[in-house]
Structure 1
Amino acid sequence: MDCNPISQFSLQLFEFFVKPLDGQEAAGALAPSRLRRCGEILRYNNEELAEQGDFSLAAISRYWLNFASKQGCMLRSQAELLLPGEEQRQQLIEQSKEWLFPLAEVTVLRKERYALHFQRRPIITHVLKSVLTLAGDYGRPLKTAQSPTMWVQLRTNARVTADGHQELRDYRLGQLHKILLRLVDYSGWRLVEQEARQEGTLCVIVESQKCCQQQAKDHVCLVSGPVLEPVKKTATALSVKDYLELRSTHMRLIAMHRSGIRPSGMSNLDSLMQRLGEAAVIVDLFEVRHVSAAIVVRNGIGSSKGASYILYNSARLETLMRTFAGMVNAGVYEPLPPLGEIDLSILEDDMDWQLIYGYLLHFPELIESVMDNLQQGQCSVHLLIRYLDNLASAFSRYYRHKKVLVQKRDQLMPMVYARMYLVMAVRQVLNTALSLLGIEPVDFV
């Protein structure tokens, strides 16, 4: 099964509308990943799905012509509009019944776009089964001898601050190198040593300043930008040690304010706050593009919800899992039945669907997007931070509006079991995304 079913569906949809030119290869020879670069032809949604559709596509034929011709294809219909009537829209729905993810409805969103809605049950089943079966390998392609190869080197001139500690810019550079290595391991690339490079190996140098054009012909430069103060926008004098201590203090104050935690309330509080501080620094440094300047957080200036918000919702997931296990041990609930025995129609509600379709299904696509422009010297780590922040927000809304755990009543137990499987899947994907950044999830915040 394709580890990125969104690419698979995009290709099937494209083939519905186009056919190869005479003498050209079939449209099916297209690399599915290339369909992510077709602009506004296809647009996937993760908000307002009931109104905007699970995704939408351009209705006007000329928007498709340029992209199709570059693939050696032509449109099957020469009409001004794709799917001009109800009959043509029904044909697409009927054709999709043979696909991994069949469609339920095609509607006119506005004059130039159609909204497409999936049948929800097949996607819910696929996502939960895939995430919970594959766990930390969900979205990880199978590497083969034919997989593209990459060699990565860190090039840095270690600098220290006046107090003898590492500069934040060098720390950011080192963390970019570590994140890239984890992403390569998770992606379809094979990492090779310098002596194992071959023709076609992508050579990536992670450094603080781009080589001149003549020097860079044999490799790609992945550049890490400066770290600045929030007001004056000058290079910060904070060392890594000082900034970690500063952000750990911020995390402690947030935990005391939000959760009522007191220094005497937890034996491992110092260790926990250090981990939260380390996570906050990673988010601060990479919530913008790695080549852009990162802004340190002082007195709330330059701060977003960041790591505290992401990890607070990570802790909520862990608390739900722990509470459920405790209720099972106490005899309040029966043990969680196998997934195949769960009534997944319960999760076809709009808020459940947004988590499953809008975020969990799209995680493999996200990882590919992060690595898409590596050959141009761009590794979009900031997209991973944005995904975590948005997933945390979506789960926070879900937590506020849905009662996951209730006192045992026979008629409510199918709902509890279905939602616990969803909680487990969200937790797994969130933890996988955190691990790619080198951030440990937390049990309590």
Structure 2
Amino acid sequence: VGVRLVPALAEEGSLKVLQQLRVDWPSGSGGLALPDTVSALKRALGQSPCAATWEQGPGTGVLPEDVICTVHLRSFVEQQGLVGYDPNLDVLLVTEGKLRSLAELQQAVLQCTVSNLAGTACLSLSQCQGSCCNIVHVVSCEEEFQQQQLDLLWRILDPGPHTALQKHLVCGPVKVTNPSSPIGADQYFQLRKRQMYEASVMKYGELAQDQAWTEVIDTLTVAAIRFEMLSTAHQSQITLDLEDSSISTKGTKSGAFVMYNCARLATLFDTYQRAVERGTYPPLPPASELNFSCLREEGEWLLLFNYLLPFPEVLQQAAQLPPSSKGIRITANTETVCKFLIQLSMDFSSYYNRVHILGEPFPHLFDQMFARLQLLGAVRDVFHSALATLHLPPLSQI
């Protein structure tokens, strides 16, 4: 499965923030073919019975200079028997800007037939199945009305199967507590980065000013923000606390806590490997030769049955969009992986703090140590795979 993202961003500030968050977003003006696509949409607009010439009457106020015509959306919705649209949708002023937005969507769909997938973003995403693309408009609740207008305009100008498959994934509002002043995305990122650095200094002491620790702090910052944004169901409100006390390496529900436990596993296996090289422990035997009856701790079976075995189902649930429904809204389990990782980190941390994995190098203790290492190796793999779905690299130190 691939995804094509629309629209391409030309604003440098927005691209910078996305790059800091390690989001690979297309940039530019939308491609060389965009003017031709806009022209084709204008021709379709001129032939549409839903369109009418715009005449500005007295008292209508100042209107955009690039208004082309009007389109009657409500009558189109009623004629087509469409459900789920805002009842206040009525007459739309069609502008050059709206047609450019549709042109980018149109180009993504055309490319979909070549690459077998396209995506759009208000954010919108489009997924190709067979010869047809599924378009998902990912939109904030504040912009849902405008995106429904664009959806209907596209249906009017291009009554193909792909426009009939448009769905809207609506994200809830973001509320900021304790704001000293309005804060933008870049300021928010820099604030979280400073807070993560200061929290790390409190935990580990003054950090070395080298590239390795800079990368660690950057990764922790991205993890903190991703978990802050994605641990809540997309349709619910997110509340951001900007106080310095809101970010900690100890908070059990934070991205930093997840990354910390991932790093603990890396340290464990690094310590074991160095001990093997010194001859303290023998190498880990193949799994088929291990005695798993040595795993008697409740926490060990909890890790197996609550996390290792259900993990494929968790990934499937997170990636699955519901089947087509009659309305235009859909939901996605965008919070599933974050919640899974947070709970896994809590249970792993509890087990790791209680159980000594690398014991004395006595042969009669090796069976249990090997079984535990095999179990925690699988836990480490789950951490890495789950973090990869969030585009987060595992940390080997913290």
Provide the TM-score with structure 2 as the length reference. Answer: 0.61
Alpha-carbon separation, structure 2, partners of 1:289 and 1:176: 23
C-alpha offsets along residues 367-426 of structure 1, whole Å, 9 cap, x if unaligned?
122234444522212111000000000110010111101120111111111111111111
Alpha-carbon contact 1:288-1:382 (below 8 Å) kept: yes
Cα shift at 1:236: 5.4
Alpha-carbon separation, structure 1, partners of 2:236 and 2:262: 28
In structure 2, list runs of 5 or more residues that go unmatched: 27-114, 119-126, 156-162, 324-328
Matched, 1:222 2:169: yes
Alpha-carbon contact 1:173-1:224 (below 8 Å) kept: no
Cα shift at 1:329: 0.7
Alpha-carbon separation, structure 2, partners of 1:236 and 1:168: 19
Matched, 1:253 2:104: no
Cα shift at 1:284: 1.3
Q: Classify 1:174/1:402 alpha carbon distance in 2 versus 1 (closer, same or farther; 3 Å).
A: closer
Alpha-carbon separation, structure 1, partners of 2:245 and 2:341: 22
Task: Give the partner amino acid of 1:192.
Answer: N
1:332-351 to 2 correspondences below 5 Å = 332-351=280-299
Q: Classify 1:335/1:196 alpha carbon distance in 2 versus 1 (closer, same or farther; 3 Å).
A: closer
Cα shift at 1:158: 5.2
Matched, 1:390 2:343: yes
Q: Classify 1:199/1:274 alpha carbon distance in 2 versus 1 (closer, same or farther; 3 Å).
A: closer
Cα shift at 1:302: 5.9
Structure 1 SS opposite 2:135: strand
Alpha-carbon contact 2:128-2:134 (below 8 Å) kept: no
Cα shift at 1:264: 3.0
Matched, 1:237 2:183: yes
Cα shift at 1:197: 5.2
Matched, 1:362 2:303: no
Cα shift at 1:269: 1.5
Q: Residue in 2 aligned with 1:166? A: 14
Q: Residue in 2 aligned with 1:311? A: 259
Alpha-carbon contact 1:229-1:235 (below 8 Å) kept: no
Structure 1 SS opposite 2:136: strand
Alpha-carbon separation, structure 2, partners of 1:325 and 1:411: 20
Task: Give the partner amino acid of 1:154.
Answer: L
Q: Residue in 2 aligned with 1:206? A: 138
Alpha-carbon separation, structure 2, partners of 1:236 and 1:291: 23
Alpha-carbon separation, structure 2, partners of 1:199 and 1:418: 49
In structure 1, list runs of 5 or more residues that go unmatched: 1-149, 179-190
Structure 1 SS opposite 2:177: coil
Structure 2 SS opposite 1:389: helix
Alpha-carbon contact 2:230-2:338 (below 8 Å) kept: yes
Alpha-carbon separation, structure 1, partners of 2:220 and 2:378: 23
Task: Give the partner amino acid of 1:221.
Answer: H
C-alpha offsets along residues 198-248 of structure 1, whole Å, 9 cap, x if unaligned?
46754333344444385574222233444331247x9953223x2222222
Q: Residue in 2 aligned with 1:108? A: none
Q: Classify 1:339/1:368 alpha carbon distance in 2 versus 1 (closer, same or farther; 3 Å).
A: same
Task: Give the partner amino acid of 2:198.
Answer: L
Alpha-carbon separation, structure 2, partners of 1:264 and 1:250: 17
Alpha-carbon separation, structure 2, partners of 1:274 and 1:169: 13
Alpha-carbon contact 1:285-1:295 (below 8 Å) kept: no
Larger radius of gyration: 2
Q: Classify 1:151/1:277 alpha carbon distance in 2 versus 1 (closer, same or farther; 3 Å).
A: closer
1:18-57 to 2 correspondences below 5 Å = none
Alpha-carbon contact 1:156-1:207 (below 8 Å) kept: no
Task: Give the partner amino acid of 1:218.
Answer: L
Alpha-carbon separation, structure 1, partners of 2:17 and 2:267: 36
Aligned residues between the structures: 278
Q: Residue in 2 aligned with 1:42? A: none
Alpha-carbon contact 1:155-1:205 (below 8 Å) kept: no
Cα shift at 1:350: 1.4
1:193 to 106, 114, 117: 117
Matched, 1:433 2:386: yes
Alpha-carbon contact 2:294-2:371 (below 8 Å) kept: yes
Structure 1 SS opposite 2:335: helix
Task: Give the partner amino acid of 2:240.
Answer: V
Q: Classify 1:174/1:379 alpha carbon distance in 2 versus 1 (closer, same or farther; 3 Å).
A: farther
Q: Residue in 2 aligned with 1:124? A: none
Task: Give the partner amino acid of 1:220.
Answer: K
Alpha-carbon separation, structure 2, partners of 1:155 and 1:206: 10
Q: Classify 1:197/1:328 alpha carbon distance in 2 versus 1 (closer, same or farther; 3 Å).
A: closer
Alpha-carbon contact 1:153-1:205 (below 8 Å) kept: no
Task: Give the partner amino acid of 1:204.
Answer: V
Q: Residue in 2 aligned with 1:400? A: 353
C-alpha offsets along residues 326-358 of structure 1, whole Å, 9 cap, x if unaligned?
110111001111111100111243110000111
Alpha-carbon separation, structure 2, partners of 1:359 and 1:443: 21
Structure 2 SS opposite 1:364: helix
Alpha-carbon separation, structure 2, partners of 1:224 and 1:239: 17
Task: Give the partner amino acid of 2:293.
Answer: S
Provide the TM-score with structure 1 as the length reference. Answer: 0.55
Q: Residue in 2 aligned with 1:268? A: 212
- Identity over the aligned pairs, expressed in percent? 24
C-alpha offsets along residues 126-180 of structure 1, whole Å, 9 cap, x if unaligned?
xxxxxxxxxxxxxxxxxxxxxxxx77553458596xxx722999899995999xx
Alpha-carbon separation, structure 1, partners of 2:117 and 2:169: 18
2:221 to 277, 298, 301: 277
Task: Give the partner amino acid of 1:400.
Answer: N
Cα shift at 1:263: 2.4
Q: Residue in 2 aligned with 1:409? A: 362
Alpha-carbon contact 2:193-2:218 (below 8 Å) kept: yes
Alpha-carbon separation, structure 1, partners of 2:129 and 2:389: 25
